[in-house]
Every structure is written in structure tokens, then in C-alpha cells.
Amino acid sequence: MKSNSNQALRTKHFLKKAFIDLVHKKGFSAVTVKDIVEYAQYNRTTFYVYYQNIDDLVEELMEEMFEAIQYNSMSKYVSNSRVKVQELTTNSFELLYYIYDHRDYFTLLLLEDTLPRIHQQLPEAIFNLLKEKFDIHYGVSVVDDYSQKRYMAYGTAGLILDWISQDFDATPGEMTERLNRIFNTFARGFVIKEIDT
């Protein structure tokens, strides 16, 4: 049973990879199921075993990436831990390393004819994470926490998008260091809330 499960994951991976490559080549609106299966060297029947249509594939791909963005932002932390911003290092977050390793997906952000809602995905994933998992200790006494976290999420996503558009002109570690310096300008530390296991 496990080998069937592994085979399914592998097949879906190749279908998604083919889809991403084709969106880069043709644009989202021009990609068909026929294109995907020919590119991935499968048949249409195989595609329909896993997906009803392209929208179904897109939905699963985007859900996976949303979860991965959040996971790779939290993987270094444990529940109820206290973190001082000034002690953050280039190894404090895995997110930028993950984005770099999956740049075939994240460069879709640069395309005009791209996946629906992809431009909101990164900032919303970061915002959801900040809202649900972080109690931030700011450098001032009165802060609108919701608005601050919204600002942080969209600002962080904007900086990442600029990095992507500059063809990843810095290493993930250098980008993490840039973000850490920015965090130091407005936050003293944070407490990690309960992490799902």
C-alpha cells in the first residue's frame, strides 16, 4: 500500500512540475490537460485518476505551497518559546531557503498570465502565520497588532518578490539577514504560540 502511495505522490509531483513549466512557457490560460500529460509523459487517464481538471490541480498545488510557506517559517521553533529579535541569525527561518529551492514555482509570481490568486498567497500565508502563531513584542507601547502584522506580512512578501524579480541576486542567508535587520527596527522579540504537530 505504501508503494502505491509513493507512486501516487511521485506521479502527482511530475504532473505539477509539468504544469509549472508549461505556465512559464505558455501562460496559465493556454495550458491544457493534453499539454500537461504530453509534457510529463503520462496519458490523460492518469491525470484524471488524480484530478478532475486543471483547476483541481492548481487548488492542490496552491494549498501545498501555502502550507509549506507556513511550515518553513516555523520549523525552527517550538511552542511557547521566547525569541529575541536581536538574536535571530541567517539560520532562524527556512522560508527563504525553501523559496529559493522551489523558484520554479515562486517565479510564477512574475508572470502576467499566471495562477489565479498566486499574488495574494505569499503575503496571506505570512499574515496567517503571524496572526495565529506569533505574539510580537514591539518597541512601542501602543500598537494595532492586526494592522502591524498585516503590514509586516505584505512588506516581507514585497521584499521577497523584489528578490525574485532580481533573479535571486542574494543568497537565502543574505536575504534572511536583511529581513532580520528590518525586524530589529520595530520589534524586540516574540513568543511562539502553540504549534500544531
- pLDDT attached to residue 32: 98
Cα separation of the two ends of the chain: 24
Q: Which parts of the chain have pLDDT scores under 50?
A: 1-2
Specify the DSSP element, H or E, that contains 83: strand 82-84
Cell of 46: 492518469
For the entire predicted model, the pTM comes to: 0.85
| CA separation for the pair 103, 107 (Å, rounded) | 6
